[in-house]
Structure 1
Amino acid sequence: MSESTPDPRLRALADRLRPGAARTVKVVGFDGADTLVRLVDAGAETAEIGRIPQHEASMRRTGHPSELFELGQEIRAEEIGRWREGQLHLSARACEIPALRSFLLALDPGQVVTGTVAAVHNFGVFVHVDGEPDGPCTGFIRVPDLSWEWITHPSEAVEAGQRIAAEVIIAETRSGQVMLSLKALKEDPLIRFADQLGRVLTGTVTRIVPFGVFVRLAPDVMGFLHLSELTAEPDRPPEQFVDEDEPITVRVTEVDLPRHRVRLALPHGSDRS
């Protein structure tokens, strides 16, 4: 199967969410809703003070970190970066469930996993990934990662109880989830469509938005025609020029594989004003 170029935005997201090193720290105080800790190396307390922000303290809802930690308590926490003049920030929630952390760390981007769809919502799909520890539902598929085809709701792609195979985008220890992609296991339809660049095609208007219209050029290929291609008067809405489900003749001006984007223009000489 041919593969498209990875989306640079997903690459950047994966790099930002990549798990950091787990450290042993001792709770030394509280600063508002944050927890102050001192790093422990080789069993010895160091001079460096780190900070666990409130939202990184636990996956459970708590009013104050003192409900979770005691002064002098040693815990494990994951490094997440340095802020406030170089102060180390850490996440205790990333190490809260050792079995979950171990499961997530064993998953690599590009790895194919199997699982069962647990729930389908308008914002995405939750998946019980095979091998995950009892309790948490670790898999999540965003709507854009479900299908190459245009869908209006995730239920058009999967249903609860369905067995699926998906590709790992990133396993994120701080959220306790692994982002998955169904469409990554299928060929990007734009790969075969790329030879249509510059050609004049007839498609169907599927959606009208304030700044232009989406045009279906093939069952799984959608292009975008900007409002500026329809009129030189930006204050006039696209509905004045086209209707949904109306055939329209367009020219393919760009096929962007990394961003899975097709840009369109009206053929030379066309005038819809």
Structure 2
Amino acid sequence: MKVTLDGFSARPLGVIWPLDVSWSWQQSVAVKVGQRITAEVIAIDLDEGHARLAMTATENPELWAFLKSRHRGEILSGTIAAIERFGVFVALDDGPDHPVFPGVGFITIPELSWLHIEAVSDVVQVGQRVSCEFLQFDTWNGEARLSLKATRPDPFQEFADSIAVGRTLQGQVTKLTPFGFFVQVAGGIEGLVHRQAPATTPEATPQDVVQVGDDVTVVVMDVDRERRRLTLSREQVAPDAR
């Protein structure tokens, strides 16, 4: 919706996106043309020539102030309040309650663990105490986006510290794809053997070479720490490279 700001009546200079109207969804349709409102400026769009406003800031001033004062990297503690298919709600020790959700803190599935997980319950349980790193203030939902994995060592970096290009490893095939297959070479560490690897022919598919569950010998071709990617090959190397 567009908003005409007091003192600037020439044209609407404010804009409020639907999710910035209210964190209580039932109230999000209550705004009417001509209604006076109070909102906080949360962004300036110079290209469009308007200010993005949030009525949620004045609807829940205590909660807004709490979330706005958090800093990236800050450690927040709380209790797992609810587990959903899209993430986990955390009731934080400090700060007010949320008007809609069971907790002000929220952890998305990718931020729960460095490792691939089959179920959220493999990592956390309702009622469990956790300490998480604050990532950002989600102004649309009124949440503190958190990361549990950020407070724990990254197993890939620990693996990278102990490995070198050219090293021969033993592993098990975990997944076949059109472009190659994945091999688990350590706990929670998988690498990709590209289809173009010398052990295969251009016409061969991964299914022609290996099957899921096969034990294979692979060679480390590249360790990308930044993207957390391990590239492997079934190419044989000289013994002194191992």
1:151 Cα deviation (Å)?
Answer: 1.5
Distance 1:203 1:61, change over 3 A: same
Residue 128 of structure 1 aligns to a residue whose secondary structure is strand
Q: Which residue in the other structure is 2:74 paired with?
A: 111
Residue 202 of structure 1 aligns to a residue whose secondary structure is strand
1:84 Cα deviation (Å)?
Answer: 6.5
Q: Is the 8 A contact 1:141 1:179 kept in 2?
A: yes
1:163 Cα deviation (Å)?
Answer: 0.9
Residue 116 of structure 2 aligns to a residue whose secondary structure is coil
1:156 Cα deviation (Å)?
Answer: 1.1
Provide the identity percentage.
Answer: 33
> Using the alignment, how far apart are the partners of 1:267 and 1:99 within structure 2?
61
Distance 1:95 1:262, change over 3 A: farther
> Using the alignment, how far apart are the partners of 1:64 and 1:186 within structure 2?
39
Greater relative contact order (Cα 8 A, min sep 6): structure 1 or 2? Answer: 1
List structure 1 runs of 4+ shifted beyond 4 angstroms: 62-65
Q: Which residue in the other structure is 2:137 paired with?
A: 171
Letter of the 1:149 counterpart: L
Residue 267 of structure 1 aligns to a residue whose secondary structure is coil
Q: Is the 8 A contact 1:94 1:174 kept in 2?
A: no
Q: Is the 8 A contact 2:133 2:146 kept in 1?
A: yes
1:193 Cα deviation (Å)?
Answer: 1.9
Q: Which residue in the other structure is 2:50 paired with?
A: 87
> Using the alignment, how far apart are the partners of 1:150 and 1:92 within structure 2?
39
Q: Is the 8 A contact 2:22 2:28 kept in 1?
A: no
Q: Is the 8 A contact 1:146 1:181 kept in 2?
A: yes
Distance 1:223 1:78, change over 3 A: farther
Q: Which residue in the other structure is 1:60 paired with?
A: 24
- Deviation by residue 1:127-166 (Cα, 9 ceiling, x = unmatched): 1122231244222212222122221222211111111111
Q: Which residue in the other structure is 1:46 paired with?
A: 8
Q: Which residue in the other structure is 1:144 paired with?
A: 110
Residue 127 of structure 2 aligns to a residue whose secondary structure is coil
> Using the alignment, how far apart are the partners of 1:64 and 1:112 within structure 2?
32
Distance 1:240 1:153, change over 3 A: farther
Letter of the 1:118 counterpart: A
**TM-score, normalised by the number of residues in structure 1:** 0.73
Q: Is the 8 A contact 2:21 2:28 kept in 1?
A: no
> Using the alignment, how far apart are the partners of 2:28 and 2:163 within structure 1?
59
1:170 Cα deviation (Å)?
Answer: 1.4
Q: Is the 8 A contact 2:13 2:49 kept in 1?
A: no
Q: Is the 8 A contact 2:19 2:141 kept in 1?
A: no
1:51 Cα deviation (Å)?
Answer: 1.6
> Using the alignment, how far apart are the partners of 1:121 and 1:141 within structure 2?
10
Which structure shows the higher strand fraction? 1
- The unaligned stretches of length 5 or more in structure 1 are 1-33
Distance 1:138 1:187, change over 3 A: same
Residue 3 of structure 2 aligns to a residue whose secondary structure is strand
> Using the alignment, how far apart are the partners of 1:64 and 1:118 within structure 2?
25
Q: How does 1:28-43 map to 2 (within 5 A)?
A: 34=1, 36-40=2-6
Residue 245 of structure 1 aligns to a residue whose secondary structure is coil
Residue 204 of structure 1 aligns to a residue whose secondary structure is strand
- The unaligned stretches of length 5 or more in structure 2 are 238-242
1:104 Cα deviation (Å)?
Answer: 0.6
CA RMSD, 1 decimal: 2.6
Distance 1:231 1:185, change over 3 A: same
Q: Is the 8 A contact 1:204 1:216 kept in 2?
A: yes
Residue 196 of structure 2 aligns to a residue whose secondary structure is helix
Q: Which residue in the other structure is 1:122 paired with?
A: 85
> Using the alignment, how far apart are the partners of 2:56 and 2:233 within structure 1?
50
Q: Does 1:203 align with 2:164?
A: no
Q: Which residue in the other structure is 2:240 paired with?
A: none
